[in-house]
């Protein structure tokens, strides 16, 4: 693994060297941020990198230099209102909020308190756009679109900067030693040479699988 070209480049970029030659005083960056896709493959890569840091750069974790970036999972847009959310719970809450506002507005319109908003030039022309992943939209919300990001590459550079890289907006999780120990344990269980622990892990958690990558 240490002969891998990407790992070599990573070690050079960090500046501390590795193994017996490791020296935290030569660290070039205060924050080392792991940024992977929000899918199964991204989780695998994140586990591998956390294991690398746990085994060869443990002092960087102890001193709080390792972080995990949190790219958004969804982009929701209603008219000119654009929101980025990071999990399904936040998405559902926002959709409910928009649906409640639309319901209240419709009630006021029916009582003549508000004028009817037209979308697309004619009353009733507003449309609800659906993605393959999302088919259940809240009733009454017009001009709504939902985009689910399967990977960082699906964002354009401006979106990636705005949501994941801009220090003013980004969400970072600081890696603790407990996080790294858990990653190392999972790595040993699923990638190690011992068959029984891997078989037991799969049998124990098989019914909890939600995103199976075959």
Structure tokens at 42: 């991204």
95 and 62 assigned to the same domain: no
Strands of the sheet with 32-34, listed across from one edge: 32-34, 66-69, 172-174
pTM of the model: 0.69
Residue at 103 is within a domain:
yes
Model confidence at 125: pLDDT above 90: no
- Interval 41-56: pLDDT, tens: 888 888 889 889 988 9
Query: Within a 10 A sphere around the Cβ of 128, how many other Cβ atoms?
Result: 14
Q: Is residue 78 part of a domain?
A: yes
Residue 105, classified by CB atoms within 10 Å of its CB into exposed (0-12), middle (13-18) or buried (19+), is middle
- Give the phi and the psi of residue 127 in degrees, each rounded to 5: -125, 155
Residue 56 lies in a domain: yes
CATH classification at residue 177: 3.40.50.670
Give the structural domain span for 81.
74-148
The answer to whether residues 125 and 183 belong to one domain is no
Number of domains the chain contains:
2
| pLDDT tens-digit series, residues 1-39 | 778 899 999 999 999 999 889 999 999 999 999 999 877
Mean pLDDT of the chain: 80
Are 59 and 121 members of one domain? no
Cβ atoms 115, 189 nearer than 8 A: no
């Amino acid at each position: 693994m240490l002969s891998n070209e990407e790992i070599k480049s990573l070690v050079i970029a960090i500046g501390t060297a590795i193994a017996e030659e490791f020296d935290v005083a030569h660290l070039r960056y205060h924050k080392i941020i792991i940024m992977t896709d929000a899918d199964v493959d991204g989780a695998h890569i994140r586990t591998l990198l956390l294991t690398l840091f746990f085994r060869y750069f443990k002092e960087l974790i102890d001193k709080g230099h390792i972080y995990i970036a949190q790219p958004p999972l969804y982009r929701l847009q209603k008219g000119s209102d654009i929101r980025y959310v990071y999990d399904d719970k936040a998405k559902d809450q926002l959709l409910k909020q928009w649906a409640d506002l639309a319901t209240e507005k419709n009630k006021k319109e029916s009582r003549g308190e508000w004028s009817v908003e037209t979308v697309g030039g004619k009353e009733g022309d507003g449309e609800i756009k659906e993605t393959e992943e999302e088919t259940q939209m809240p009733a009454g919300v017009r001009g709504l679109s939902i985009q689910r990001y399967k990977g960082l590459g699906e964002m354009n550079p401006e979106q990636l900067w705005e949501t994941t890289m801009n220090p003013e907006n980004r969400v970072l999780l600081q890696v603790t030693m407990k996080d790294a120990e858990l990653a190392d344990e999972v790595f040993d269980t699923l990638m190690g040479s011992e068959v029984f622990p891997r078989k037991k892990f799969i049998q124990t958690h098989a019914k909890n699988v939600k995103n199976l990558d075959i």
